[in-house]
Amino acid sequence: MSLAACHDAPQINVRQERGQREVFCGLTGIVWLHRKIQDAFFLVVGSRTCAHLIQSAAGVMIFAEPRFATAIIDERDLAGLADIDDELDRVVTRLIERRPEIKLLFLVGSCPSEVIKLDLSRAAQRLSQRMTPAVRVLAYSGSGIETTFTQGEDACLAALVPPSPRAGADAPPSLLVVGALADAVEDQFRRYFADMGIERVDFLPARHAADMPAIGPNTRFLLAQPFLADTARALEALGARHLPAAFPLGAEGTQLWLAAAAKAFGVHDALFENAISSARSRARASLARHRARLEGKRIFFFPDSQLEAPIARFLARECGMELVEIGMPYLHRRHLAEELALLPAGVPIVEGQDVERQLDRCRESAPDLVVCGLGLANPLEAEGFATKWSIELVFTPVQGFEQAADLAELFARPLMRRELLEV
């Protein structure tokens, strides 16, 4: 297991680590995406392991009627005894009969489907032709050999881009916000943009399959999430332009993110200030409460959601926390450039993972709070560490001014709880 050090910018200290990774695969994204796009269904083409993963990761089987399922590959499929196309047709037919309200079906590739080289894009095209116009079928891969956790959302959104409507070169400039956000957060952002006078604002993904936004050379897009590399590339391929920005986590991040749009759309400073000032003061005031508890506390990040860098920036700069180590599954230098520049100098960033060594370092450094995945949280608590499960960061509305205090509270609560308990 190699451990290479490299110093590419004076203030950033990035190390690559290889070994056992303790992260979900991209299939996990289905858990929130199937709620976000209300008429979409996600059909994983994979093994029983995939089916088991999604139902287990889904907050322990909460939905009685989920809009996801798995087409489990069996030995007949592998041995070539069954025609995969026929099998997929049969499964999809049964599925759509059961859920006739479905307008958009994703065939989601998995580790086994990738290894046996199932061409799901071709299958999606064929099924789409068969079921048009009632159902559109798209394909993407959420396989764990290619994607980690939140990258599944990236792959899904990237698949939505090519078939989306086109906006021509003469279309008026429009703003596109990319990345699944809670509906309430979306609505707040819409209001700020409206107050700034930015008229045409779309969100990807839209809440319904038929409402996916038009994209063209006059589209400017903001990434709402830091894990959308492929989606950004697909948008740029259609001429859309990325507005580099810090991510909308915390009051500072939200302001910087909104400001990037304001600048691109020529919004005057006064108008911008007017649009955000009251929300920003609310955010700052409510953050103060949590800052008291978090200030000076040391925090250690295991790699998981890919939100580690912006959250670390928020916790360090707005809550006064001390960053011990920031683990991330991978580092997208371009999309994270604004974030990395805001991090305190010399913060150790570890890209990749060797979970055993990282646990050694974590124990050694004895942080006050550990951010980690669900597999590690209880064992670390049992060892005496306070933990915050990182999956909550993707399932909870945390972006924007109004949620800044909620985000801080997610980290304050484990500490508060320890003070409360007397057993």
Partner 1 sequence: MQLTVWTYEGPPHVGAMRICAAMKNVHYVLHAPQGDTYADLLFTMIERRDTRPPVTYTTFQARDLGGDTAELFKNAARDAYERFKPEALVVGSSCTAELIQDDPGGLTAALNLPIPVIPLELPAYQRKENWGAAETFYRIVRTMAGPHARAPGVLRERGARARCNILGPATLGFRHRDDLTEVLSLLAALDVDVNVVAPLGATPSDLARLGDADFNVVLYPEIANQAAIWLQRAFGQKSTRHIPIGVRGVRAFIAEVAELAGVGIPVMLESRARLPWYSRSVDSTYLTGKRVFVFGDATHAIAAARVASAELGLKVVGLGTYSREFARELREAAALYDVEPLISDDYLDVEVAIAAAAPELVLGTQMERHIAKRLRVPCAVISAPVHVQDFPARYSPQMGFEGANVLFDTFVHPLMMGLEEHLIGMFRGDFEFRDGVAPSHLGHAAPSETETVAVVEAEGAQVAWTLDAEKELRKIPFFVRGKARRNTEKFAIERGNTRIDVEMLYEAKAHFGR
Binding site for partner 1 (CB under 8 A): 1, 19-28, 45, 47-49, 51-53, 55-57, 60-61, 64-66, 69-75, 77-78, 82, 84, 87-88, 90-91, 94-95, 98, 111-112, 114-116, 143-146, 148, 356, 373-379, 381-382
Provide the 8-state DSSP code for 81. S
In angstroms, rounded to a whole number, what is the distance separating the alpha carbons of residues 101 and 381?
44
> Rounded to the nearest 10 degrees, what angle do helices 404-420 and 250-264 cross at?
170
Give the nearest distance from C-beta 299 to partner 1 in angstroms. 21
Cα–Cα nearest to 304, from 93, 101, 148: 148
Output 253 or 352, the one with its CB closest to partner 1: 352
Per the listing, tokens 């005057």 go with 268
Give the nearest distance from C-beta 16 to partner 1 in angstroms. 13
Output 73 or 336, the one with its CB closest to partner 1: 73
Cα–Cα nearest to 314, from 264, 371, 274: 371
Is residue 371 within 8 Å of residue 300, measured between CB atoms? Answer: yes
Output 28 or 286, the one with its CB closest to partner 1: 28
> Rounded to the nearest 10 degrees, what angle do helices 84-98 and 120-131 cross at?
50
Give the nearest distance from C-beta 181 to partner 1 in angstroms. 25
Q: Exposure pattern of 271-305 as b/e (b: 16+ CB <10 Å)?
A: ebeebbeebbeebbebbeebbebbeebebbbbbbb
Give the nearest distance from C-beta 215 to partner 1 in angstroms. 28
In angstroms, rounded to a whole number, what is the distance separating the alpha carbons of residues 119 and 167?
30
Is residue 23 within 8 Å of residue 329, measured between CB atoms? Answer: yes
Output 241 or 413, the one with its CB closest to partner 1: 413
Output 105 or 321, the one with its CB closest to partner 1: 105
Output 295 or 360, the one with its CB closest to partner 1: 360
Cα–Cα nearest to 178, from 194, 201, 145: 201
Position 50, amino acid:
C
Give the nearest distance from C-beta 329 to partner 1 in angstroms. 9
Output 77 or 338, the one with its CB closest to partner 1: 77
Output 139 or 246, the one with its CB closest to partner 1: 139
Give the nearest distance from C-beta 186 to partner 1 in angstroms. 27
Q: CB-side exposure of 184: number of CA atoms within 13 Å?
A: 8
Give the nearest distance from C-beta 356 to partner 1 in angstroms. 6
In angstroms, rounded to a whole number, what is the distance separating the alpha carbons of residues 160 and 138?
8
Give the nearest distance from C-beta 383 to partner 1 in angstroms. 9
Output 90 or 268, the one with its CB closest to partner 1: 90
Give the nearest distance from C-beta 263 to partner 1 in angstroms. 38
Position 231, amino acid:
T
